[in-house]
Structure 1
Amino acid sequence: MSHLDGTTAVITGGSEGLGYAIADAFAAEGSDLVLLDPDQDKLDRARDALAGHGTTVRTISVNLADPGAVTTAAHEVLALTERVDTLVNNAGTAHFSPLAQTSADTFDAMLHLNVRVPFLLAQALLPALVEGHGSIINITSYWAHTMVADRPSAAYSATRGAINAMTRALANELGPSGVRVNGIAPGAVRTPAYERDHLGPMSAEERDGHDRRAREAYPLGRIGEPREVAAAAAFLASPRAGWTTGTTEEVAGGPPGGPRSVP
Structure 2
Amino acid sequence: MSEHHTTSRFAVVTGGSGGLGLAIADALAHDGADLILVARNRDRLEAAAKELGRHGTVVHTVPADLSVPDAPARIAAHVRTLTDRVDILVNNVGTAHFASLADTTLDEMNTMWYLNVQVPLLLSQQLLPALLNARGNIINISSYWARKMVVGRHSAAYSATRGALNSMTRALASELGPQGVRVNAIAPGAVRTPTYERSHLSPMTAEERTAHDQRIEHSYPLGRLGTPEDVATAAAYLASAQWTTGTILTVDGGLTTR
Please report the TM-score for the alignment, with normalisation by the length of structure 1.
Answer: 0.94
CA distance in 1, matches of 2:89, 2:44: 20
Which consecutive residues of structure 2, in runs of 5 or more, have no partner in the other structure? 1-6
In structure 1, the partner of 2:118 is 116
CA distance in 1, matches of 2:12, 2:123: 10
String of CA shifts for 1:71-112, please: whole Å, max 9, x gaps. 111111111222210100000000100011110010000000
Residue from 27, 46, 49 that aligns with 1:47: 49
SS at 2:102 equivalent: helix
In structure 2, the partner of 1:35 is 37
String of CA shifts for 1:159-213, please: whole Å, max 9, x gaps. 0000000000000000000000000000000001000111111111111111110
- Structure 1 85/158 Cα, relative in aligned 2: closer, same or farther at 3 Å? same
Aligned length: 252
Amino acid in structure 2 at the alignment position of 1:219: P
CA distance in 1, matches of 2:98, 2:143: 14
Q: Check whether the contact 1:89–1:136 (CA below 8 A) recurs between aligned residues.
A: yes
In structure 1, the partner of 2:165 is 163
Q: Check whether the contact 2:220–2:254 (CA below 8 A) recurs between aligned residues.
A: yes
In structure 2, the partner of 1:190 is 192
Which consecutive residues of structure 1, in runs of 5 or more, have no partner in the other structure? 259-263
Q: Check whether the contact 1:70–1:121 (CA below 8 A) recurs between aligned residues.
A: yes
Q: Check whether the contact 2:189–2:255 (CA below 8 A) recurs between aligned residues.
A: no
In structure 1, the partner of 2:4 is none
Please report the TM-score for the alignment, with normalisation by the length of structure 2.
Answer: 0.96
CA distance in 2, matches of 1:234, 1:132: 17
How far the C-alpha of 1:44 sits from its partner, in A, is: 0.5
Does 2:99 match 1:88?
no
Amino acid in structure 1 at the alignment position of 2:25: A
Q: Check whether the contact 1:9–1:85 (CA below 8 A) recurs between aligned residues.
A: yes
In structure 2, the partner of 1:255 is 255
- Structure 1 256/242 Cα, relative in aligned 2: closer, same or farther at 3 Å? closer
Q: Check whether the contact 1:219–1:256 (CA below 8 A) recurs between aligned residues.
A: no
Amino acid in structure 2 at the alignment position of 1:106: E
CA distance in 2, matches of 1:61, 1:203: 37
Q: Kindly, what percent of the aligned residue pairs are identical?
A: 60
Residue from 207, 213, 217 that aligns with 2:209: 207
Residue from 128, 133, 136 that aligns with 2:135: 133
String of CA shifts for 1:21-65, please: whole Å, max 9, x gaps. 000000111000000000001000000000000000000000001
In structure 2, the partner of 1:245 is 245
String of CA shifts for 1:93-139, please: whole Å, max 9, x gaps. 00100011110010000000000000000000001111111000000
Taking only aligned residues, the RMSD between alpha carbons, in angstroms, comes to 1.1
Residue from 7, 13, 28 that aligns with 1:11: 13
How far the C-alpha of 1:155 sits from its partner, in A, is: 0.3
How far the C-alpha of 1:255 sits from its partner, in A, is: 3.0
CA distance in 1, matches of 2:193, 2:80: 30
String of CA shifts for 1:219-242, please: whole Å, max 9, x gaps. 00011000010000011111xx10
CA distance in 2, matches of 1:78, 1:119: 18
SS at 1:97 equivalent: coil
In structure 1, the partner of 2:3 is none
CA distance in 2, matches of 1:244, 1:223: 26
Q: Check whether the contact 1:140–1:185 (CA below 8 A) recurs between aligned residues.
A: yes
Stretches of 4+ moved more than 6 A in 1? none
String of CA shifts for 1:148-167, please: whole Å, max 9, x gaps. 12000000000000000000
